Chain A
Amino acid sequence: MSAFGEPLVEVEDLVTHFPIREGLLGRQVAAVHAVDGVTFSVREGETLGLVGESGCGKSTLGRTIVRLLEPTSGDVRFQGRSIAHLRARELRPLRREMQMVFQDPYASLNPRKRIGSIIASPMKIHGAADARERRRRVQDLLDVVGLSPEHYNRYPHEFSGGQRQRIGVARALALRPKLVVADEPVSALDVSIQSQMLNLLEDLQEEFHLTYIFIAHDLGVVRHVSDRIAVIYLGKLVELSPAAELYERPIMPYTEALLSAVPIPDPDLSDQRERIVLQGDVPSPIDPPPGCRFHPRCRYRTDVCAAVEPPLVDYGGGHLAACHHPLGVDDETLARVRRAAPLTDAASRASP
Chain B
Amino acid sequence: MAPPPPPLLEVRDLKVSFNTEDGVVRAVDGVSFTLGQGEVLGIVGESGSGKSVTMMSVLRLINDPNAVFEGEVLYKGRNVMDLPEDRMREVRGGEIAMIFQDPMTSLNPVYRVADQIAEAILTHRAIGKAAARTRAVDLLRQVGISQPERRADDFPHQFSGGMRQRAMIAMALANDPDILIADEPTTALDVTIQAQILDLIARLKDEFASAVILITHDLGVVAGIADRIGVMYAGRLVEFGGKRDLFYDPQHPYTWGLLGSIPRLDRPKQDRLHSIAGMPPSLIDPPAGCRFRPRCPHAFDRCETEPALEVRGGGARHLDRCWLDPESKRAVRDRTIRGESAAA
Contact = CB atoms under 8 A, between A and B. Distances in A.
Interface in A156-201: 160-163, 190-196, 198-199
A243 to B, nearest CB: 8
Nearest to B199: A277
B261 A192 contact: yes
B223 A191 contact: no
B258 interface: yes
Given A199-B272, A224-B269, A262-B191, A267 B219 contact: no
Give the most central of A192, A224, A266: most B CB within 10 Å.
A192
B265 A192 contact: no
B contact face: mostly helix, strand, loop, or mixed: helix
A218 B273 CA distance: 15
B287 interface: no
Contacts of A224: 263, 269-270, 273
B223 A261 contact: no
B279 interface: yes
Nearest to A297: B192
B11 to A, nearest CB: 24
A262 B263 contact: no
B220 interface: yes
Interface residues of B, number: 46
A190 B47 contact: yes
B190 A219 contact: no
A219 B217 CA distance: 17
Contacts of B129: none
B259 A265 contact: yes
A192 B275 contact: yes
Nearest to A190: B46
A268 B257 CA distance: 20
A258 B261 contact: no
Contact of B46 (A191, A243, A277): A191
A221 interface: yes
Given A191-B261, A192-B46, A193-B279, 6 more contacts: A220-B264, A261-B192, A263-B194, A263-B195, A265-B247, A270-B223
Interface of B: 46-47, 146, 160-163, 190-196, 198-199, 217-221, 223-224, 243-244, 247-248, 257-266, 269-270, 272-277, 279
Interface of A: 53-54, 160-163, 190-196, 198-199, 202, 217-221, 223-224, 243-244, 247, 257-267, 269-271, 275, 277-278, 280-282
